[in-house]
């Protein structure tokens, strides 16, 4: 069951200005499994390949950002500002 992400506002200071200092790396890694390799060579659609990748445990870039929000490393507003909303939803 999905839970709401925490909402917090970075207070900022004389060093980080708006509450962000430095950079935070977010990753989307797609391990190419045998099933995924076959799907690609068979010419399956991007949506079908994405479904297979998600079934094998791939975390999207946006999900990685949401995990950073849960850990208090950034805010949802910043994730959406940088990445946008997945699929335009």
pLDDT in tens, 20-78: 667 889 999 988 999 999 999 999 999 999 999 999 899 999 999 999 999 888 888 88
Rg of the Cα atoms in the chain: 17
Token pair of 62, please? 């946006």
Q: Name the 3-class secondary structure at 62.
A: helix
What pLDDT score does 1 carry?
56
Residue written as token pair 């060093």 = 15
Global pTM exceeds 0.85: no
Higher pLDDT pick, 59 / 9: 59
What pLDDT score does 62 carry?
94
Token pair of 25, please? 């790396």
Using the predicted structure, report yes or no on whether residue 88 has a pLDDT greater than 90: no
What gap in Å lies between CA 80 and CA 68, rounded to an integer? 12
């Amino acid at each position: 069951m999905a839970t709401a992400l925490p909402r917090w506002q970075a207070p900022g200071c004389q060093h980080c200005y708006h509450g962000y200092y430095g950079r935070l790396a977010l990753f989307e890694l797609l391990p190419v499994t045998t099933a995924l390799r076959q799907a690609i060579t068979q010419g399956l659609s991007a949506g079908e390949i994405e479904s297979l990748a998600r079934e094998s445990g791939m975390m999207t870039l946006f999900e990685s950002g949401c995990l950073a929000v849960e850990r208090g490393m950034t805010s949802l507003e910043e994730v959406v500002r940088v990445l946008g909303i997945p699929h335009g939803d």
